[in-house]
Structure 1
Amino acid sequence: MNHLDNEIARIKSRVAEMWELVEYQVRCGREALINGDKGLAETVIKRGKKVNKYDLKIDQMCENMLALFNPLAVDLRLILAILKINANLERIGDTAEGISSLIIESDMPFEENLMDMSRVLEMYDGALLMLADVKKAFLTEDTQLAKMVMRHDKALNKIHRNTDKIIISYIQSHGDNIDQSLKVAGIIRKLERIGDHVTNIAEEIVFYIDAKVLKHKSKPWKVKRSKSNLQGDEPEAGS
Protein backbone atom coordinates (compact mmCIF):
# COMPACT_ATOMS: atom_id res chain seq x y z
CA MET A 1 0.00 0.00 0.00
CA ASN A 2 1.25 3.50 -0.80
CA HIS A 3 1.03 6.45 1.60
CA LEU A 4 -2.33 7.61 0.20
CA ASP A 5 -3.85 4.16 0.66
CA ASN A 6 -2.54 4.02 4.21
CA GLU A 7 -4.14 7.35 5.05
CA ILE A 8 -7.45 6.28 3.52
CA ALA A 9 -7.33 3.08 5.59
CA ARG A 10 -6.73 5.17 8.74
CA ILE A 11 -9.69 7.40 8.01
CA LYS A 12 -11.99 4.44 7.30
CA SER A 13 -10.86 2.84 10.56
CA ARG A 14 -11.78 6.00 12.51
CA VAL A 15 -15.18 6.11 10.80
CA ALA A 16 -15.80 2.48 11.79
CA GLU A 17 -14.92 3.30 15.41
CA MET A 18 -17.32 6.24 15.40
CA TRP A 19 -19.98 4.02 13.86
CA GLU A 20 -19.64 1.56 16.76
CA LEU A 21 -20.18 4.37 19.25
CA VAL A 22 -23.28 5.64 17.46
CA GLU A 23 -24.72 2.13 17.20
CA TYR A 24 -24.10 1.73 20.93
CA GLN A 25 -26.02 4.94 21.60
CA VAL A 26 -29.02 3.77 19.58
CA ARG A 27 -29.01 0.24 21.09
CA CYS A 28 -28.76 1.59 24.63
CA GLY A 29 -31.58 4.03 23.94
CA ARG A 30 -33.81 1.09 23.03
CA GLU A 31 -32.88 -0.77 26.21
CA ALA A 32 -33.38 2.34 28.33
CA LEU A 33 -36.84 2.81 26.81
CA ILE A 34 -37.89 -0.77 27.58
CA ASN A 35 -36.59 -0.79 31.14
CA GLY A 36 -37.09 2.86 32.07
CA ASP A 37 -33.36 2.95 32.80
CA LYS A 38 -32.50 6.61 33.26
CA GLY A 39 -28.90 5.79 34.15
CA LEU A 40 -28.40 4.08 30.79
CA ALA A 41 -30.10 7.00 29.05
CA GLU A 42 -27.64 9.35 30.73
CA THR A 43 -24.78 7.15 29.49
CA VAL A 44 -26.06 7.63 25.93
CA ILE A 45 -25.88 11.39 26.38
CA LYS A 46 -22.39 11.25 27.88
CA ARG A 47 -21.14 9.17 24.94
CA GLY A 48 -22.15 12.05 22.70
CA LYS A 49 -18.99 13.94 23.73
CA LYS A 50 -16.83 11.11 22.42
CA VAL A 51 -18.81 10.98 19.18
CA ASN A 52 -18.27 14.71 18.75
CA LYS A 53 -14.52 14.25 19.16
CA TYR A 54 -14.52 11.62 16.42
CA ASP A 55 -16.56 13.98 14.24
CA LEU A 56 -13.96 16.74 14.53
CA LYS A 57 -11.02 14.35 14.11
CA ILE A 58 -12.42 12.72 10.97
CA ASP A 59 -13.20 16.10 9.42
CA GLN A 60 -9.63 17.18 10.12
CA MET A 61 -8.18 14.00 8.62
CA CYS A 62 -10.26 14.44 5.46
CA GLU A 63 -9.24 18.08 5.10
CA ASN A 64 -5.56 17.13 5.50
CA MET A 65 -6.00 14.40 2.91
CA LEU A 66 -7.44 16.86 0.39
CA ALA A 67 -4.68 19.41 1.06
CA LEU A 68 -1.69 17.07 1.08
CA PHE A 69 -2.51 14.34 -1.45
CA ASN A 70 -4.87 15.98 -3.95
CA PRO A 71 -6.80 12.70 -4.44
CA LEU A 72 -8.53 12.01 -7.74
CA ALA A 73 -11.40 9.90 -9.08
CA VAL A 74 -12.64 7.25 -6.61
CA ASP A 75 -10.29 8.43 -3.84
CA LEU A 76 -11.65 11.97 -4.09
CA ARG A 77 -15.25 10.69 -4.10
CA LEU A 78 -14.47 8.57 -1.04
CA ILE A 79 -13.14 11.52 0.97
CA LEU A 80 -16.10 13.71 -0.05
CA ALA A 81 -18.48 10.89 0.87
CA ILE A 82 -16.81 10.33 4.24
CA LEU A 83 -17.25 14.01 5.12
CA LYS A 84 -21.01 13.63 4.59
CA ILE A 85 -21.19 10.18 6.21
CA ASN A 86 -19.39 11.60 9.23
CA ALA A 87 -21.91 14.45 9.49
CA ASN A 88 -24.86 12.05 9.29
CA LEU A 89 -23.37 9.75 11.94
CA GLU A 90 -22.91 12.72 14.27
CA ARG A 91 -26.56 13.69 13.73
CA ILE A 92 -27.70 10.13 14.46
CA GLY A 93 -25.78 10.37 17.73
CA ASP A 94 -27.46 13.69 18.51
CA THR A 95 -30.85 12.13 17.77
CA ALA A 96 -30.10 9.20 20.09
CA GLU A 97 -29.26 11.73 22.79
CA GLY A 98 -32.57 13.51 22.16
CA ILE A 99 -34.45 10.25 22.63
CA SER A 100 -32.56 9.59 25.87
CA SER A 101 -33.56 13.03 27.14
CA LEU A 102 -37.22 12.14 26.62
CA ILE A 103 -36.72 8.90 28.55
CA ILE A 104 -35.06 10.75 31.43
CA GLU A 105 -37.95 13.26 31.55
CA SER A 106 -40.54 10.51 31.99
CA ASP A 107 -41.70 10.02 35.60
CA MET A 108 -42.08 6.25 35.21
CA PRO A 109 -41.23 3.42 32.76
CA PHE A 110 -43.15 3.65 29.51
CA GLU A 111 -46.45 1.77 29.47
CA GLU A 112 -46.09 -1.53 27.58
CA ASN A 113 -49.41 -1.26 25.76
CA LEU A 114 -48.46 2.20 24.48
CA MET A 115 -45.19 0.85 23.05
CA ASP A 116 -46.99 -2.07 21.43
CA MET A 117 -49.68 0.08 19.82
CA SER A 118 -47.21 2.69 18.56
CA ARG A 119 -44.75 0.04 17.25
CA VAL A 120 -41.90 2.14 18.62
CA LEU A 121 -39.73 -0.91 19.39
CA GLU A 122 -40.32 -2.28 15.90
CA MET A 123 -39.15 1.07 14.58
CA TYR A 124 -36.08 0.91 16.82
CA ASP A 125 -35.23 -2.55 15.48
CA GLY A 126 -35.61 -1.32 11.91
CA ALA A 127 -33.33 1.65 12.53
CA LEU A 128 -30.68 -0.56 14.16
CA LEU A 129 -30.81 -3.04 11.28
CA MET A 130 -30.41 -0.25 8.74
CA LEU A 131 -27.49 1.21 10.68
CA ALA A 132 -25.71 -2.15 10.88
CA ASP A 133 -26.31 -2.98 7.22
CA VAL A 134 -25.15 0.39 5.93
CA LYS A 135 -21.94 0.04 7.97
CA LYS A 136 -21.35 -3.34 6.36
CA ALA A 137 -22.05 -1.82 2.93
CA PHE A 138 -19.48 0.90 3.63
CA LEU A 139 -16.75 -1.44 4.86
CA THR A 140 -17.28 -4.02 2.08
CA GLU A 141 -18.08 -1.47 -0.67
CA ASP A 142 -21.37 -3.26 -1.38
CA THR A 143 -23.65 -0.92 -3.33
CA GLN A 144 -26.42 -3.51 -3.61
CA LEU A 145 -26.65 -3.72 0.16
CA ALA A 146 -26.61 0.08 0.35
CA LYS A 147 -29.58 0.25 -2.04
CA MET A 148 -31.40 -2.40 0.01
CA VAL A 149 -30.93 -0.25 3.11
CA MET A 150 -32.65 2.63 1.31
CA ARG A 151 -35.66 0.41 0.62
CA HIS A 152 -35.88 -0.58 4.30
CA ASP A 153 -36.50 3.07 5.15
CA LYS A 154 -39.99 2.61 3.71
CA ALA A 155 -41.01 0.51 6.76
CA LEU A 156 -39.92 3.26 9.16
CA ASN A 157 -41.76 5.90 7.15
CA LYS A 158 -44.95 3.82 7.26
CA ILE A 159 -44.90 3.55 11.06
CA HIS A 160 -44.15 7.26 11.32
CA ARG A 161 -47.06 8.22 9.06
CA ASN A 162 -49.52 6.32 11.25
CA THR A 163 -48.20 7.66 14.54
CA ASP A 164 -50.58 10.61 15.00
CA LYS A 165 -53.68 8.45 14.44
CA ILE A 166 -52.47 5.76 16.85
CA ILE A 167 -51.41 8.20 19.56
CA ILE A 168 -54.75 10.03 19.39
CA SER A 169 -56.56 6.70 19.69
CA TYR A 170 -54.44 5.75 22.69
CA ILE A 171 -55.01 9.09 24.44
CA GLN A 172 -58.78 8.75 23.97
CA SER A 173 -58.75 5.58 26.07
CA HIS A 174 -55.82 6.49 28.35
CA GLY A 175 -56.36 10.16 29.14
CA ASP A 176 -54.19 9.88 32.23
CA ASN A 177 -51.07 9.07 30.18
CA ILE A 178 -50.89 11.98 27.76
CA ASP A 179 -47.31 12.86 28.71
CA GLN A 180 -45.89 9.47 27.79
CA SER A 181 -48.02 9.38 24.64
CA LEU A 182 -46.49 12.62 23.41
CA LYS A 183 -43.00 11.45 24.32
CA VAL A 184 -43.44 8.21 22.35
CA ALA A 185 -44.63 10.25 19.37
CA GLY A 186 -41.48 12.36 19.71
CA ILE A 187 -39.28 9.24 19.88
CA ILE A 188 -40.87 7.87 16.71
CA ARG A 189 -40.23 11.15 14.90
CA LYS A 190 -36.59 10.98 15.94
CA LEU A 191 -36.26 7.34 14.82
CA GLU A 192 -37.69 8.33 11.45
CA ARG A 193 -34.95 10.95 11.21
CA ILE A 194 -32.35 8.28 11.98
CA GLY A 195 -33.72 6.31 9.03
CA ASP A 196 -33.33 9.40 6.85
CA HIS A 197 -29.72 9.90 7.95
CA VAL A 198 -28.92 6.24 7.27
CA THR A 199 -30.46 6.62 3.81
CA ASN A 200 -28.22 9.64 3.21
CA ILE A 201 -25.21 7.51 4.16
CA ALA A 202 -26.29 4.76 1.76
CA GLU A 203 -26.56 7.33 -1.04
CA GLU A 204 -22.99 8.49 -0.34
CA ILE A 205 -21.74 4.90 -0.55
CA VAL A 206 -23.29 4.52 -4.00
CA PHE A 207 -21.84 7.90 -4.98
CA TYR A 208 -18.23 7.10 -4.18
CA ILE A 209 -18.26 3.53 -5.54
CA ASP A 210 -20.43 3.89 -8.66
CA ALA A 211 -20.06 7.65 -9.24
CA LYS A 212 -23.86 7.95 -9.24
CA VAL A 213 -25.65 10.77 -7.43
CA LEU A 214 -28.95 9.52 -5.95
CA LYS A 215 -29.72 12.56 -3.80
CA HIS A 216 -32.95 14.36 -4.74
CA LYS A 217 -33.77 11.75 -7.40
CA SER A 218 -37.06 9.90 -7.53
CA LYS A 219 -36.87 6.95 -5.15
CA PRO A 220 -38.96 3.90 -6.10
CA TRP A 221 -38.94 2.68 -2.48
CA LYS A 222 -40.77 5.84 -1.34
CA VAL A 223 -44.55 6.05 -1.38
CA LYS A 224 -45.77 7.97 -4.43
CA ARG A 225 -46.94 11.48 -3.74
CA SER A 226 -50.59 12.25 -4.19
CA LYS A 227 -51.90 14.73 -6.73
CA SER A 228 -52.24 17.32 -3.95
CA ASN A 229 -48.54 16.97 -3.15
CA LEU A 230 -47.67 17.47 -6.80
CA GLN A 231 -49.58 20.72 -6.67
CA GLY A 232 -47.30 22.19 -4.03
CA ASP A 233 -47.73 20.46 -0.65
CA GLU A 234 -44.62 19.69 1.37
CA PRO A 235 -42.86 16.47 0.34
CA GLU A 236 -42.48 13.81 3.01
CA ALA A 237 -39.35 13.85 5.19
CA GLY A 238 -36.29 12.31 3.60
CA SER A 239 -37.52 12.74 0.00
Structure 2
Amino acid sequence: MTHLDSELKQIKQQVIEMMTLVRNQLAKGKNAVLTFDKDLVHEINANEKRVNAMELSIDRAIENTLALYTPVAVDLRFVMASFKISADLERIGDNAVGIAKYINHVNEQLTAADLDKIKFVEMYENALLMLENVFEAFEKEDTKLAREVFVKDKVLNKINLNAASITIQFIQQTPDKINNYLYLLSIIRKLERVGDLAKNIAEELIFYIEAKVLKHHKKK
Protein backbone atom coordinates (compact mmCIF):
# COMPACT_ATOMS: atom_id res chain seq x y z
CA MET A 1 0.00 0.00 0.00
CA THR A 2 1.39 3.40 -1.02
CA HIS A 3 1.44 6.43 1.29
CA LEU A 4 -1.38 7.93 -0.79
CA ASP A 5 -3.48 4.77 -0.49
CA SER A 6 -2.96 4.84 3.26
CA GLU A 7 -4.09 8.48 3.46
CA LEU A 8 -7.17 7.78 1.32
CA LYS A 9 -8.08 4.82 3.52
CA GLN A 10 -7.80 7.03 6.60
CA ILE A 11 -10.00 9.73 5.05
CA LYS A 12 -12.62 7.11 4.19
CA GLN A 13 -12.62 5.83 7.77
CA GLN A 14 -13.03 9.36 9.12
CA VAL A 15 -16.00 9.99 6.82
CA ILE A 16 -17.61 6.70 7.91
CA GLU A 17 -17.22 7.71 11.57
CA MET A 18 -18.79 11.09 10.84
CA MET A 19 -21.65 9.40 8.98
CA THR A 20 -22.35 7.17 11.99
CA LEU A 21 -22.42 10.09 14.41
CA VAL A 22 -24.66 12.22 12.19
CA ARG A 23 -27.08 9.34 11.63
CA ASN A 24 -27.29 8.83 15.40
CA GLN A 25 -27.90 12.55 15.88
CA LEU A 26 -30.83 12.47 13.49
CA ALA A 27 -32.27 9.30 15.06
CA LYS A 28 -32.06 10.88 18.52
CA GLY A 29 -33.88 13.91 17.14
CA LYS A 30 -36.80 11.68 16.19
CA ASN A 31 -36.88 10.08 19.64
CA ALA A 32 -36.66 13.50 21.30
CA VAL A 33 -39.73 14.72 19.42
CA LEU A 34 -41.74 11.54 20.07
CA THR A 35 -40.89 11.33 23.77
CA PHE A 36 -40.47 15.05 24.54
CA ASP A 37 -37.15 14.14 26.17
CA LYS A 38 -35.12 17.27 26.99
CA ASP A 39 -32.12 15.18 28.09
CA LEU A 40 -31.87 13.92 24.52
CA VAL A 41 -31.94 17.50 23.25
CA HIS A 42 -29.00 18.32 25.53
CA GLU A 43 -27.14 15.24 24.28
CA ILE A 44 -27.71 16.19 20.63
CA ASN A 45 -26.50 19.74 21.27
CA ALA A 46 -23.36 18.46 23.01
CA ASN A 47 -22.57 16.04 20.17
CA GLU A 48 -22.87 18.82 17.59
CA LYS A 49 -19.40 19.98 18.65
CA ARG A 50 -18.07 16.52 17.77
CA VAL A 51 -19.72 16.70 14.34
CA ASN A 52 -18.08 20.07 13.65
CA ALA A 53 -14.70 18.80 14.90
CA MET A 54 -14.94 15.76 12.62
CA GLU A 55 -15.62 17.96 9.59
CA LEU A 56 -12.56 20.09 10.40
CA SER A 57 -10.43 16.97 10.86
CA ILE A 58 -11.51 15.60 7.48
CA ASP A 59 -10.86 18.97 5.84
CA ARG A 60 -7.32 19.03 7.27
CA ALA A 61 -6.64 15.46 6.14
CA ILE A 62 -7.83 16.33 2.63
CA GLU A 63 -5.71 19.50 2.50
CA ASN A 64 -2.62 17.53 3.57
CA THR A 65 -3.30 14.81 1.02
CA LEU A 66 -3.70 17.34 -1.79
CA ALA A 67 -0.52 19.17 -0.77
CA LEU A 68 1.71 16.14 -0.19
CA TYR A 69 0.54 13.63 -2.79
CA THR A 70 -1.27 15.64 -5.51
CA PRO A 71 -3.77 12.85 -6.28
CA VAL A 72 -5.14 12.64 -9.82
CA ALA A 73 -8.00 10.98 -11.69
CA VAL A 74 -10.05 8.58 -9.52
CA ASP A 75 -8.08 9.37 -6.36
CA LEU A 76 -8.74 13.08 -6.82
CA ARG A 77 -12.43 12.37 -7.38
CA PHE A 78 -12.54 10.43 -4.12
CA VAL A 79 -10.85 13.25 -2.21
CA MET A 80 -13.18 15.89 -3.63
CA ALA A 81 -16.25 13.70 -3.06
CA SER A 82 -15.18 13.17 0.57
CA PHE A 83 -14.76 16.93 1.01
CA LYS A 84 -18.28 17.63 -0.27
CA ILE A 85 -19.80 14.71 1.65
CA SER A 86 -18.35 15.90 4.97
CA ALA A 87 -19.85 19.36 4.34
CA ASP A 88 -23.26 17.80 3.62
CA LEU A 89 -22.98 15.66 6.75
CA GLU A 90 -22.28 18.75 8.85
CA ARG A 91 -25.43 20.37 7.48
CA ILE A 92 -27.47 17.24 8.23
CA GLY A 93 -26.12 17.48 11.76
CA ASP A 94 -27.28 21.11 11.93
CA ASN A 95 -30.77 20.02 10.90
CA ALA A 96 -30.80 17.30 13.57
CA VAL A 97 -30.01 19.97 16.18
CA GLY A 98 -32.74 22.22 14.77
CA ILE A 99 -35.30 19.42 14.95
CA ALA A 100 -34.43 18.60 18.57
CA LYS A 101 -34.57 22.26 19.63
CA TYR A 102 -38.27 22.30 18.80
CA ILE A 103 -38.88 20.82 22.26
CA ASN A 104 -37.46 23.93 23.90
CA HIS A 105 -39.91 26.17 22.04
CA VAL A 106 -43.25 24.45 22.59
CA ASN A 107 -45.19 24.01 25.80
CA GLU A 108 -46.57 20.53 25.25
CA GLN A 109 -45.97 17.33 23.32
CA LEU A 110 -47.67 16.92 19.95
CA THR A 111 -50.34 14.23 19.87
CA ALA A 112 -49.77 10.91 18.13
CA ALA A 113 -52.82 11.64 15.95
CA ASP A 114 -51.36 14.93 14.69
CA LEU A 115 -47.97 13.36 14.02
CA ASP A 116 -49.65 10.51 12.17
CA LYS A 117 -51.78 12.83 10.02
CA ILE A 118 -48.77 14.83 8.85
CA LYS A 119 -46.83 11.53 8.39
CA PHE A 120 -44.02 12.57 10.70
CA VAL A 121 -42.78 9.04 11.49
CA GLU A 122 -43.00 7.87 7.87
CA MET A 123 -41.01 10.88 6.69
CA TYR A 124 -38.44 10.52 9.46
CA GLU A 125 -37.96 6.78 8.81
CA ASN A 126 -37.46 7.44 5.10
CA ALA A 127 -34.89 10.14 5.85
CA LEU A 128 -32.98 7.76 8.12
CA LEU A 129 -33.14 5.00 5.48
CA MET A 130 -31.75 7.42 2.90
CA LEU A 131 -28.77 8.06 5.17
CA GLU A 132 -28.27 4.34 5.72
CA ASN A 133 -28.33 3.81 1.94
CA VAL A 134 -25.66 6.40 1.22
CA PHE A 135 -23.51 5.30 4.15
CA GLU A 136 -23.55 1.67 3.02
CA ALA A 137 -23.02 2.77 -0.59
CA PHE A 138 -19.94 4.74 0.49
CA GLU A 139 -18.52 1.86 2.52
CA LYS A 140 -19.18 -0.81 -0.15
CA GLU A 141 -18.75 1.49 -3.18
CA ASP A 142 -22.17 0.43 -4.47
CA THR A 143 -23.95 2.77 -6.90
CA LYS A 144 -27.15 0.69 -6.80
CA LEU A 145 -27.54 1.47 -3.11
CA ALA A 146 -26.77 5.13 -3.77
CA ARG A 147 -29.49 5.32 -6.42
CA GLU A 148 -32.14 3.98 -4.02
CA VAL A 149 -31.91 7.36 -2.31
CA PHE A 150 -33.54 9.10 -5.28
CA VAL A 151 -36.68 6.95 -4.96
CA LYS A 152 -36.99 7.58 -1.22
CA ASP A 153 -36.49 11.32 -1.74
CA LYS A 154 -39.72 11.43 -3.75
CA VAL A 155 -41.58 10.15 -0.67
CA LEU A 156 -40.12 12.97 1.42
CA ASN A 157 -40.99 15.55 -1.22
CA LYS A 158 -44.61 14.36 -1.38
CA ILE A 159 -45.06 14.51 2.42
CA ASN A 160 -43.44 17.95 2.49
CA LEU A 161 -45.74 19.15 -0.29
CA ASN A 162 -48.84 18.20 1.71
CA ALA A 163 -47.52 19.45 5.05
CA ALA A 164 -48.50 23.12 4.67
CA SER A 165 -52.19 22.43 3.98
CA ILE A 166 -52.34 19.91 6.86
CA THR A 167 -50.74 22.48 9.18
CA ILE A 168 -53.37 25.05 8.18
CA GLN A 169 -56.09 22.52 9.07
CA PHE A 170 -54.45 21.93 12.46
CA ILE A 171 -54.33 25.67 13.19
CA GLN A 172 -57.95 26.22 12.11
CA GLN A 173 -59.12 23.38 14.37
CA THR A 174 -56.95 24.30 17.38
CA PRO A 175 -55.74 27.92 17.01
CA ASP A 176 -54.30 28.07 20.54
CA LYS A 177 -51.65 25.53 19.45
CA ILE A 178 -50.43 27.56 16.47
CA ASN A 179 -46.88 27.72 17.83
CA ASN A 180 -46.66 23.93 18.15
CA TYR A 181 -47.96 23.35 14.64
CA LEU A 182 -45.62 25.88 13.04
CA TYR A 183 -42.68 24.18 14.70
CA LEU A 184 -43.94 20.82 13.44
CA LEU A 185 -44.04 22.25 9.92
CA SER A 186 -40.47 23.50 10.47
CA ILE A 187 -39.40 19.95 11.37
CA ILE A 188 -40.98 18.60 8.17
CA ARG A 189 -39.09 21.24 6.17
CA LYS A 190 -35.83 20.24 7.88
CA LEU A 191 -36.41 16.57 7.06
CA GLU A 192 -37.00 17.50 3.43
CA ARG A 193 -33.67 19.32 3.51
CA VAL A 194 -32.00 16.24 5.02
CA GLY A 195 -33.35 14.29 2.05
CA ASP A 196 -31.84 16.80 -0.37
CA LEU A 197 -28.47 16.55 1.38
CA ALA A 198 -28.59 12.74 1.31
CA LYS A 199 -29.32 13.00 -2.41
CA ASN A 200 -26.29 15.28 -2.83
CA ILE A 201 -24.13 12.64 -1.12
CA ALA A 202 -25.54 9.93 -3.40
CA GLU A 203 -24.67 12.01 -6.47
CA GLU A 204 -21.10 12.51 -5.23
CA LEU A 205 -20.75 8.78 -4.61
CA ILE A 206 -21.98 7.86 -8.08
CA PHE A 207 -19.58 10.40 -9.62
CA TYR A 208 -16.63 8.83 -7.78
CA ILE A 209 -17.55 5.12 -7.86
CA GLU A 210 -18.43 4.96 -11.55
CA ALA A 211 -15.11 6.57 -12.44
CA LYS A 212 -13.32 3.94 -10.34
CA VAL A 213 -15.22 1.06 -11.98
CA LEU A 214 -14.41 2.49 -15.42
CA LYS A 215 -10.72 2.66 -14.49
CA HIS A 216 -10.69 -1.01 -13.44
CA HIS A 217 -12.41 -2.06 -16.68
CA LYS A 218 -9.79 -0.19 -18.73
CA LYS A 219 -7.00 -2.01 -16.87
CA LYS A 220 -8.52 -5.33 -17.94
TM superposition shift of 1:12: 0.6
Tell me which residue corresponds to 2:148.
Answer: 148
The separation in 2 between residues aligned to 1:106 and 1:35, in whole angstroms, is: 13
For 1:202, the equivalent position in structure 2 comes to 202
Unaligned runs of 5+ in 1: 213-239
Q: TM-score, normalised by structure 2?
A: 0.94
**How far does residue 26 in structure 1 lie from its aligned partner after superposition?**
0.3
Distance in 1, Cα, partners of 2:26 & 2:187? 12
Alpha-carbon distance in structure 1 between the residues aligned to 2:38 and 2:76:
43
Moved over 6 A (4+): none
- After superposition, residues 165-180 of structure 1 pair within 5 angstroms as 165-180=165-180
Where 2:192 maps in the other structure, the secondary structure is helix
1:215 maps to: none
- Cα distance in structure 2, aligned partners of 1:181 and 1:87: 30
- CA drift of 1:60 comes to 0.6
Partner of 2:83: 83
Distance across 1 between alignment mates of 2:148 and 2:20: 21
The CA distance in 2 between the partners of 1:106 and 1:112, in whole Å, is 16
**What is the letter of the counterpart of residue 157 of structure 1?**
N
Match of 2:16 in 1: 16
Paired residue type of 2:167: I
* Paired letter, 1:60: R
User: For residue 164 of structure 1, what is the aligned residue in structure 2?
Assistant: 164
Using the TM superposition, name which of 81-90 and 117-126 deviates more: 117-126
Matching residue's letter, 2:25: Q
Per the alignment, residue 118 of structure 2 pairs with 118
The alpha carbon displacement at 1:111 in A equals 1.8
TM-score (norm 1): 0.86
Mind listing any 5+ residue stretches in structure 2 that lack a counterpart? 213-220
- List aligned pairs for 1:208-219, cutoff 5 A: 208-211=208-211
How many residues are aligned here? 212
What's the offset of the Cα at 1:179? 1.3
Partner of 2:45: 45
Compute the displacement of 1:2 (Å). Answer: 1.6
- Letter of the 1:97 partner, please give it: V
The CA distance in 2 between the partners of 1:56 and 1:22, in whole Å, is 15
Q: Does 1:95 align with 2:117?
A: no
Distance of 1:99 and 1:211 partners within structure 2: 36
Counterpart residue number, 2:107: 107
Quote the sequence identity (%). 47
**Which residue does the alignment assign to 2:3?**
3
| Inter-partner Cα distance in structure 1 for 2:134 and 2:49 | 23
Choose between structure 1 and 2: higher helix proportion.
2
Q: Which residue of 1 aligns with 2:58?
A: 58
Rounded to whole Å, the distance in 2 between the matches of 1:172 and 1:186 is 18
Question: Are the counterparts in 2 of residues 42 and 104 from structure 1 also a CA contact under 8 Å?
Answer: no
**What are the Cα deviations for residues 58-103 of structure 1, in whole angstroms up to 9, with x where unaligned?**
0010111111111111100000000000000000000111111112
Q: Which is further off, 27-36 or 163-172? A: 163-172
User: Equivalent residues in 2 for 1:17-36 (5 A)?
Assistant: 17-36=17-36
User: How far is 1:211 from its partner?
Assistant: 3.8
